[in-house]
Chain A
Amino acid sequence: MLVTWRYRDRKSLIQSFDPSAWIVFYTCFIVATVFFWDFRYLSLLLIIALVFVFTSKVTWGESKRAWLFIGGFVVFFAVLTFLTGRGGMEVYEEEHVITTLRAPFTIFGWNPALDITLERAMFGLSQMVRVFSMASMTILIPYTLNPAHYGISFRRLGLPDKIAYAMDLTMRFIPTFGRDFQLTMDAQRARGYEMEKLSGGLFSQVRKLAPLIVPVTIHAIAGSEDIIDAMDLRGFGIGPRTWLVELKYKRRDYALMVFGVLILLGSIIASLFGYGKFWVPPALLNALGG
């Protein structure tokens, strides 16, 4: 059986919109974000995302694990980008060194050094803002979208019955998977299994995860077979289906969708005209004598 996310009706801004309208807006927002590397544009998008986050009434207590997990990822990769300059090479051509850190030792005659450049710093920062605004919008979904509306929301966006219901089941499969994982983890710990003690190379570490991965996978497969049987036995997919839940767009839903589409079109047009590329504050460039 599928369990659900921690959805509650919170009477918040985001929940005042129709779920289909929200999915349209969300999709436009995410695609628009992908067009930009300009810190200024990205900040604007982040502000929009944060408005929804801070008005969502999702408490820190209930969502902190998700924020810390995703926040940790975002910061880690931004720092990695900053240190290595990885990924930035395509967006900027020259670098302006602010300072160079030199290690006070040498390894086999090599003296590790790190160039801190203006471009790397700005790129790391832009990347962080970009990913974080996408992540914020995504984290909100499980807390604010009523699971009973998943299927009909996709159906109204024009997806066929079968695919809309499949999307519905998939979204609810994720937390179910989490529950099975926890049960398996407990069962194996009761057999003296300790994940903290994983050691060895990558391959042997993965092998040592088998006691968790195998039961969880088998459960997922068996669970989906049960679901198919249960659907078949109640005549799913024989013809056009009525969806009991009836949702109606209100004026504000149209407004939200128009807003989303405008953001998307604006981004496409801006990028066609060459706006929104990687940006370094000129004042800082001048200060470095570039």
Chain B
Amino acid sequence: MAQDPLLVVDNVSFRYREREELAIKDISLQLEAGEVLLIAGASGCGKTTLARVINGLIPRSYKGELTGRILIHGQDTSDMSLARISQNVGTVLQDPERQILGTKVINEVAFGLENAGLSRVEILERAEGSMNYLRIADLRDRDTFNLSGGEKQKVALAGVLAMEPSLLLLDEPLASLDPASALDALRLMRELADEGIAILIVEHRVEDVLKISPDRMLFMMDGEVVYEGSTEGVAQSVDYHEVKLPARIVIGRAAEDPPPAKIEFLPGVAPGDEPLVRFDHVSFFYEEGRDVLQDINLMINAGDIIAILGPNGAGKTTLVKHAIGLLKPKSGNVFVEGKDTRDLSVAEVASTLGYVFQSPSHMLFAPSVRDELTFGPSNLGHSSEEIEKEVQRSIDIMNLSGMEEYPPLALSFGQQKRVSIAAILAMGSKILVMDEPTAGQDYKNYMDFMDSILQLPSFESILFITHDVDLAVVYANRVILLNEGRLVGDGKPQEVLSDYKHLEKWRLVPTSLLDVNLEMFVRTQRFMRAEALAHIPS
């Protein structure tokens, strides 16, 4: 007798109760034990919905109209409880932060087993086994909120593995990890698959997932599967503007297309004689004896497009919070346009330096997009005619026209992010600082808005914090490397990023785009995106 496949998704469609259109249409797929399936696609393509259908959150927690069947080990899941499904399907959510419930690592890992009512002895045995397997036994008694991003994810994964699922469902598992942790996580998934667990990865960082050679891949667009098959075939059938593919593949394909439009970055810059921002021997700590920043010396000049790279907890956000005066150095000084931030209020600095926080949900509050954009400039005391112009300009730049009267809180995450950037643009500052501008955005989305922001005539300098080495390769003309509160690299991208041994030490992983750029540097004399490299004569 042939065994039933582990997972069968049979002709499934779903419409959320509050929406009119279907989120996914007629999806069918099969998965066997030990297989790795990659599901890719832009945000809003329905990949998260598909994941929720499989793990049972749809229709149990998210209501709507579901048709089709899901079979696990040949059994229809429609009348199973969520707990029953969760014994077979283990889910690791996009952001491990949002999944972790326990205060101590051991409590977190044991949570599902506790709910199943097992004996204490068995719970401990299985929880510890799962931690040993993931090589995190040393974290056992740590507080969960003190863990690094990579550790949090392993802890979340351990909690799921302890329940011995036959299928692991990972929703954008790489989103919050620094490059080295991401690579680590991927290797682990390969190992798990080799042990016989089926793995379903929902991820738009296709290039990264390809490193562990998934058995098959599914590409989704607008709720439908547009490609299903081997990973070799995908390079030919997927739009390289939509999904990040390995640089050599993009170069091969882009050579047949017309060259990309030339982009001029920071077109409005007039070189000044004075640095815009100057850090002079800056040190900072929250608790005495545990420095978060150590003796930072740094100048930001007109024309700089700076990428700040470094592992989780390196002090990147603390550094930029000093530039706007939200934090004041414990020793040393920060000068903004020649003035010490100790003598300036945050509001005064804000007219020079606009700071976009990582999460838009921490700042959006107004009843309409227009009101949201008016907030900053009116706090700075701009006149109402000025404000009107500034708001209109940022609406145009961030492509928000037609949404002026919408409540920002009702928009999608990508749109909210654009509103949050527009709200800072409206303040008319000279320097723009963005903390992880691409987090939670898919490839096409963030490339588009980075392109348009960098072409704005109003900025004299732009800084962004990122984990994405390619973002630095494509956009920055200067890279700052931070590790444990110290400046460990500062210079042109081709200088800072060319020493791979050095990079590895700071938990950065060279990308295929960086490889190719370094190889071709003799001819190009600067870093560029893969599409542009395709048109460099050899």
Residues of A within 8 A of B (CB): 1-4, 147-148, 169, 172, 180, 183-184, 186-194, 210-215, 218-219, 222-223, 226-246
Asked, given contacts A192-B380, A244-B120, whether A235 binds B115 with beta carbons under 8 Å apart, the answer is yes
CB-based contact A187/B362 at 8 Å: yes
Sample of 12 more A-B contacts, CB < 8 Å, known A2-B145, A210-B366? A1-B97, A2-B103, A4-B103, A147-B103, A169-B101, A186-B357, A193-B347, A193-B379, A212-B365, A218-B361, A234-B112, A234-B163
**CB-CB contacts below 8 Å: B384-421 with A:** 409
Bound state CA distance, A246 and B87, in angstroms? 25
**A-B pairs with CB below 8 Å: how many?**
167
| CB-CB nearest 4 A-B residue pairs | A192-B379, A235-B83, A214-B365, A234-B112
A-contact bits for B334-364, CB 8 A (1 contact / 0 none)? 0000000000011100110011010101111
B326–A242 CB distance below 8 A = no
Distance between Cα atoms of A3 and B424 in the complex (Å): 29
The chain A residue sitting closest to B92, CB to CB, is: A233
A1 and B99 alpha carbons, distance in the complex (Å):
7
List, sorted by A's number, 17 A–B pairs whose CB atoms are closer than 8 Å: A147-B103, A184-B363, A187-B357, A190-B326, A190-B350, A190-B355, A191-B363, A194-B346, A218-B409, A219-B361, A219-B362, A223-B98, A230-B99, A233-B55, A233-B86, A234-B112, A241-B117
Closest Cβ neighbor of A189 among chain B residues: B346
Which residues of the other chain, A, contact B160 by a CB distance below 8 angstroms?
234
B114 close to A244 (CB less than 8 A): yes
Question: Quick one: which of A3, A193, A233, A241 has the most chain B CB within 10 A?
Answer: A233
Tell whether A4 pairs with B145 under 8 Å between CB atoms, given A192-B351, A218-B361, A233-B82.
Answer: yes
Q: Which residues of A contact B144 (CB under 8 A)?
A: 1
Binary per-residue interface labels of chain B (51-84) against chain A in the complex, 1 for a CB within 8 Å, 0 otherwise: 0000101001100000000000000000001110
Judged by a CB distance under 8 angstroms, whether B466 is at the interface is no
A243 to B101: give the CA distance in the assembly, Å.
14
Bin chain B's interface residue count. Answer: 35 or more
Inter-chain contact A235/B87, CB cutoff 8 Å: yes
* A3: nearest chain-B partner, CB-CB: B145
Q: Tell me the bound Cα distance from A226 to B100 in angstroms.
A: 10
Q: Is chain B's interface secondary structure helix, strand, loop, or mixed overall?
A: helix
By the criterion CB–CB under 8 Å, are A148 and B103 in contact?
Answer: yes
A39, chain B: closest CB distance, angstroms: 41
B346 lies within 8 A of A233 (CB): no
Q: In the complex, what distance in Å separates the CA atom of A192 from the CA atom of B363? A: 12
Q: Which residues of B contact A148 (CB under 8 A)?
A: 102-104, 107
For the complex formed, measure the closest distance between the CB of A197 and the CB atoms of chain B, giving whole angstroms.
9
Output the nearest chain A residue to B363 by Cβ-Cβ distance.
Answer: A187
Provide the residues of chain B in CB contact with A172, threshold 8 Å.
103
Residues of A within 8 A of B91 (CB): 233
Query: With A190-B355, A229-B61 known to touch, is A241 a contact of B423 (CB < 8 Å)?
Result: no
Contacts of A242 in B (CB 8 A): 113-114, 116-120, 123
**How far does the alpha carbon of A227 sit from the alpha carbon of B102 in the complex, in Å?**
11
Chain B interface (Cβ within 8 Å of chain A)?
55, 57, 60-61, 81-83, 86-87, 91, 93, 97-104, 106-107, 110-120, 123-124, 127, 143-145, 152, 159-160, 163, 321, 324, 326, 345-347, 350-351, 354-355, 357, 359, 361-366, 375-376, 379-380, 409, 423-424, 427
Q: How far is the CA of A241 from the CA of B119 in the complex (A)?
A: 10
User: How many angstroms between the C-alpha atoms of A6 and B124 in the bound complex?
Assistant: 27
- Interchain CB contact under 8 A, A226 and B98: yes
Which residue of B83, B123, B350, B362 is within 8 Å of A184 (Cβ)? B362
B107 close to A245 (CB less than 8 A):
yes
Give Cα A237–Cα B101 distance, bound, in whole angstroms. 15
Task: Tell me, in angstroms, the Cα distance from A147 to B93 when the chains sit together.
Answer: 24
Contacts of A235 in B (CB 8 A): 82-83, 86-87, 112, 115-116, 163
Q: What residues of B have a CB within 8 angstroms of the CB of A244 in the complex?
A: 106-107, 110, 113-114, 120, 123-124, 127
Q: A215-B362, A244-B114 are in contact. Are A238 and B163 (CB under 8 A)?
A: no
Check A192 against B101 for contact (C-beta < 8 Å).
no
Given contacts A189-B347, A241-B114, A242-B119, contact A194 B379 (CB under 8 A): yes
**Chain B: which residue is nearest A181 at the CB level?**
B362
CA distance A49 to B510 in the complex (A): 60
* Nearest chain B residue, comparing its CB with the CB of A5: B103
List B contacts of A234 (CB < 8 A): 86, 111-112, 115, 159-160, 163
A227: chain B residues at CB < 8 Å are 98, 101
Taken together as a complex, chains A and B put the C-alpha atoms of A235 and B57 apart, in Å, by 12
Residues of B within 8 A of A186 (CB): 321, 326, 357
Interface pair B361/A238, CB less than 8 Å apart? no
